[in-house]
């Protein structure tokens, strides 16, 4: 059976934004989806493994730089460099298709969905780094902390499916999803992060990360409640507030850099 449904893609800008926050891994995930929708399954197969390897290489290069030199490098420089490189590759491999799709008024995935993927990848990378640095530390229960981060990531990935449902356009399905999956997932994350703060001997940087993640999840709750309201009332009057919350979420994610 042939799938005649309109194809959707992540734009080059969306991939760049996700890459800046979530590294090459995020680029691999989004590029994979584009390749699948382009019918290039062979490229799709290698997208995530290449993203993983590229992420590993980035951190190997970072850790190979002497600390006194690394301290002089602006925090934004490294993600800007690898984002520019990946943007060039995406433009080379997918640019013509994306340009043609745009010229034909094709539909693209939302920037915020791409940002959500970037946030998930960032959390995964940070979790791996923290686990690596403190694997042999007996100061606190790293397994318990890592388990909590994994639960938070899973809840976020599940809750972000709302944006796919919104694209489909079934209002009642979206409202039901917000009530039964979305809001409970974000609220569960708050409880998980609060419980993680009670782990004895938790380092200050973990406490700070948990605080940022809690703020992010609280903003998500406010956003989902407003999205639900706009769906129920069939209105766009809350759009500017939702956009404002999205910007605040982006700033919280940036603090995790």
Which one of 109, 124, 159 terminates a domain?
Answer: 109
pLDDT at residue 23 tops 50: yes
Residue 122 contacts residue 17 (beta carbons within 8 Å): no
Based on the domain organization, do 184 and 256 belong to the same domain?
yes
Rounded to whole angstroms, the Cα distance separating 121 from 21 reads 8
Based on the domain organization, do 152 and 236 belong to the same domain?
yes
Closest CA to 54 of 95, 13, 77, 22: 22
On average, the pLDDT of the chain sits at 86
Question: By residue range, what is the domain housing residue 102?
Answer: 1-109
pLDDT at residue 137 tops 90: no
Taking CB atoms within 8 Å and a gap of at least 24, the contacts of 82-90 are 82/19, 82/23, 82/24, 82/54, 82/58, 83/16, 83/19, 83/20, 86/15, 86/16, 86/19, 86/24, 86/27, 86/54, 87/12, 87/15, 87/16, 87/19, 90/12, 90/15, 90/16, 90/27, 90/31
Which one of 52, 77, 109 terminates a domain?
Answer: 109
* Per-residue model confidence (pLDDT) at position 1: 41
Of 119-128, 146-155, 234-243, where does mean pLDDT reach its minimum?
119-128
Based on the domain organization, do 189 and 244 belong to the same domain?
yes
Based on the domain organization, do 35 and 147 belong to the same domain?
no
Each residue's pLDDT tens digit, 146-193? 888 899 989 999 999 999 998 888 899 999 999 999 999 999 999 999
Kindly tell me the burial class for residue 20, based on how many C-beta atoms sit within 10 Å of its own C-beta (0-12, 13-18, 19 or more): buried
| DSSP SS3 for 230 | helix
Rounded to whole angstroms, the Cα distance separating 159 from 30 reads 18
Based on the domain organization, do 105 and 134 belong to the same domain?
no
Based on the domain organization, do 83 and 134 belong to the same domain?
no
* Per-residue model confidence (pLDDT) at position 76: 80
| DSSP SS3 for 9 | strand
* Per-residue model confidence (pLDDT) at position 72: 79
- Residue 27 corresponds to which tokens in the numbers above? 């680029």
Based on the domain organization, do 192 and 246 belong to the same domain?
yes
Give the number of domains in the chain: 2
Based on the domain organization, do 164 and 54 belong to the same domain?
no
Based on the domain organization, do 121 and 236 belong to the same domain?
yes
The mean pLDDT of 201-221, rounded to a whole number, is 88
Kindly tell me the burial class for residue 5, based on how many C-beta atoms sit within 10 Å of its own C-beta (0-12, 13-18, 19 or more): exposed
Based on the domain organization, do 42 and 103 belong to the same domain?
yes
Based on the domain organization, do 128 and 94 belong to the same domain?
no
pLDDT at residue 219 tops 60: yes
Angle between helix 142-159 and 183-196 (nearest 10): 170
* Per-residue model confidence (pLDDT) at position 139: 60
pLDDT at residue 220 tops 90: yes
Which one of 80, 109, 138 terminates a domain?
Answer: 109
Each residue's pLDDT tens digit, 55-101? 888 888 887 877 777 777 787 888 888 889 988 988 898 888 899 98
Q: Return the exposure string of 82-110: e unless at least 16 CB atoms fall within 10 Å of the residue's CB, then b.
A: bbeebbebbeebbeebbeebeeeeeebbb
Based on the domain organization, do 46 and 129 belong to the same domain?
no
């Amino acid at each position: 059976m042939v799938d005649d449904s309109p194809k959707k893609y992540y734009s080059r800008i969306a991939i760049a934004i996700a890459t800046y926050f979530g590294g090459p891994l995020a680029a691999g995930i989004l590029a994979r989806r584009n390749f699948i929708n382009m019918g290039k399954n062979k490229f799709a197969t290698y997208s995530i493994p290449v993203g993983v390897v590229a992420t590993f290489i980035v951190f190997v290069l970072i850790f190979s730089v002497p600390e006194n030199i690394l301290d002089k490098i602006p925090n934004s420089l490294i993600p800007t460099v690898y984002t520019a490189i990946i943007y060039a590759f995406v433009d080379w491999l997918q640019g013509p298709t994306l340009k043609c799709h745009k010229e034909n008024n094709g539909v693209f995935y939302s920037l915020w969905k791409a940002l959500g993927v970037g946030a998930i990848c960032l959390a995964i990378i940070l979790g791996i780094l923290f686990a690596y640095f403190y694997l042999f530390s007996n100061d606190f229960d790293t397994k318990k902390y890592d388990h909590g981060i994994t639960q938070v990531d899973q809840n976020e990935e599940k809750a972000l499916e709302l944006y796919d449902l919104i694209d489909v356009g079934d209002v009642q399905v979206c409202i039901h999803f917000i009530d039964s999956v979305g809001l409970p997932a974000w609220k569960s994350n708050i409880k998980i992060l609060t419980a993680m703060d009670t782990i004895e001997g938790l380092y200050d940087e973990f406490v700070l990360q948990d605080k940022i993640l809690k703020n992010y999840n609280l903003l998500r709750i406010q956003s989902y409640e407003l999205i639900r309201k706009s769906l129920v009332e069939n209105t766009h009057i809350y759009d500017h507030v939702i956009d404002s919350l999205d910007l605040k979420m982006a700033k919280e994610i940036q603090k995790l850099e």
